[in-house]
Chains A and B, each alone.
Chain A
Amino acid sequence: MRGQGIWLRGISGFGMAFLYLPIIVLVVFSFNASRLSATWQGFSWHWYGVLWHDEALLAAAANSLWVAALSTSLVVLLGVPAAMGLERLRGRGRQALDTIFLLPLVLPEVMMGVALLLFFVMIQWPLSLATVVVGHAAFNLPVVIVMVRARLQKLDPRLEEAASDLGASAWQTFYRVTWPLVRPAVLGAALLAFTVSLDDFIVTFFVAGPGATTLPLRVYSMIKSGLSPEINALSSVLVLASMGLVGLSFVFQRR
């Protein structure tokens, strides 16, 4: 096995470098003073200042945060009970429902986007930020269900039984026994759903109405209309934000 060490380590190192170099390069060059973004001309915070004064961008960021907050609240309210309900079912019904609930996870995103677009047009619901919220809640629901169920499956069923044996009502059992135990998983799932919503481009691209610009839509149009180091700065902020959110989510799930 030791003979494999060198080339295994080589390929693994290469794989990691491949994953990280582009991100690192992006962040480093966001501090570049030059307008010609690929030659280094000295350290500067300039492009972060530009970001901070870009009104359209800030409006898009505000939209993104609203959409993420609303769609996350929705999927938590729908997903936590659904996860608990699925755990109570047995047999074929559960299998069938599993498949239905997990469907959005395996559908190609483009398919999800066009399906929702067609649907909204057919029921004549004008495209807006509201349709974006609904779309995000549609693909994030399985995220919450999967993560909360993973936690529920690890719980000792005797805890809930003991609570009801001691005379707790169904609601009391949930509120005083089940909820404290699943809360970390729910928080973790909510943070992931929030991150996914914040990052989503494709579904948003299809179901956002005119004027309903989210941050990824704004980044996309910035990239399409010509590069500037401002995009590097924005990208660095987004990288940092997703890492922070995912890090927090891990912390909650560990508990």
Chain B
Amino acid sequence: MNPWSSSKETEAGLDSRFRGWRLLGPGLLWTTVFCLLPMAVVLAVSLATRGTYGGVLWEFSLDNYRDLLHPLYGRIFGQSLLLAGVTTGICLALGFPLAYYIARLPPRRQALWLIFIMIPFWTNFLVRTYAWIFILRTEGLLNTVLMQLHLISTPLDLLYSNQAVLLGLVYGYLPFMVLPLYAAIERIDPALIEAAWDLYADRWSLFRRVLIPLTKPGIIAGCVLVFIPSLGAYLTPDLLGGARSMMIGNLIQHEYLVARDWPLGSALSILLMLIVMSSLLWYFTAQVPQTRERGEQ
């Protein structure tokens, strides 16, 4: 009855492998049906044609991808890439000192600071974005305070701009930058930093020639983790942005739910996914040699 008790050497391996697949089955089926298959549908629809009343006609062509070359879409893609890029840059500039500071604290306080970095990340994104509307809008907190202090006489237009979107994105994704950076900085041997000081390195060369090379995998990880969700952002530009702050996510939503052009919306989604996948690929190729080098040392 018990497969483990007899001829264990030969059967145990096969048996455990078989059971492995049986355990995996339901989960694999679920992911296939509700993730892989839907993506295949998006790919198929991106090659189809829009019906007269918004449905999908199965006439295959690459027209939707050709339509993506339209300057309007180019502008929105360019703007999204720019906003996501600048967000990543600001997060890195703010996140690196923060991560460095945390990594040099005594262990107990490190844990505390890390929890405080993670709490906003687990707080409802909609609520966090709303907080900025509350602060930035014309009758908002910032304008009210500035007017009461007589620093300004008319309220400033802060909300519904690209700057507000940028602020919202940095706010939303800063924790994604700090955590991998912390993990990378924490691993540096403090003796290396002391050695740099002993050899008369100034702060800039310490940063450029010791910290950056040693934390490169963490920097790349943080940048990819911030860049990907920023690029696909929907809520932030929708709530904080103005009419001209549309990003790819909003464009996709518009094509699907407003213009009802599913094939074009699908082509846009596929393009977004390709950008995301290539930045991930870059991330993995950059990570692998780093770990190998470390393994050889």
Contact = CB atoms under 8 A, between A and B. Distances in A.
Interface of A: 1, 3-4, 7-9, 11-12, 14-16, 18-20, 22-23, 25-26, 29, 36-39, 77-79, 81-82, 84-89, 97, 100-101, 103-104, 106-112, 114-119, 122, 134-135, 137-138, 141, 145, 164-165, 167, 169-170, 195, 199, 201-202, 206, 216, 219-220, 223, 227, 231-232, 235, 238-239, 242-243, 246, 250
Contacts of A246: 118-119, 122
Interface size class of B (residues with CB under 8 A): 35 or more
A209 B28 CA distance: 27
6 contacts: A1-B197, A85-B20, A97-B24, A104-B31, A111-B273, A119-B38
Interface string B123-141: 1111110111111010111
A81 B30 CA distance: 13
A7 B98 CA distance: 11
Nearest to A94: B20
A110 B234 contact: yes
A18 B272 CA distance: 30
A126 B42 CA distance: 18
A26 B131 contact: yes
B34 A37 contact: no
B169 to A, nearest CB: 13
Given A39-B144, A216-B126, A100 B45 contact: no
Contacts of A89: 17, 20-21, 24
B26 A38 contact: no
B232 interface: yes
B101 interface: yes
Q: Which of B3, B118, B135, B174 has the most CB of A within 10 A?
A: B135
A4 to B, nearest CB: 7
Given A8-B101, A22-B132, A119-B38, A138 B30 contact: yes
Contacts of A4: 203
Nearest to B239: A223
Listed from nearest, the 6 A-B pairs whose CB atoms lie closest are A108-B232, A82-B27, A85-B23, A88-B20, A85-B24, A22-B131
Contacts, number: 248
A202 B236 CA distance: 11
A230 B36 CA distance: 40
Nearest to A22: B131
A118 B45 contact: yes
Contacts of A104: 31, 35
B97 A239 contact: no
Contacts of B39: 107, 111, 115
A66 to B, nearest CB: 18
B131 A78 contact: no
B79 interface: no
Given A103-B35, A110-B249, A115-B269, A78 B42 contact: no
B117 A19 contact: yes
A130 to B, nearest CB: 12
Given A12-B101, A119-B38, A25 B131 contact: yes
Contacts of A77: 26
A227 B133 contact: yes
Contacts of B257: 206
Nearest to B257: A206
A38 B276 contact: no
A155 to B, nearest CB: 15
A118 B193 CA distance: 54
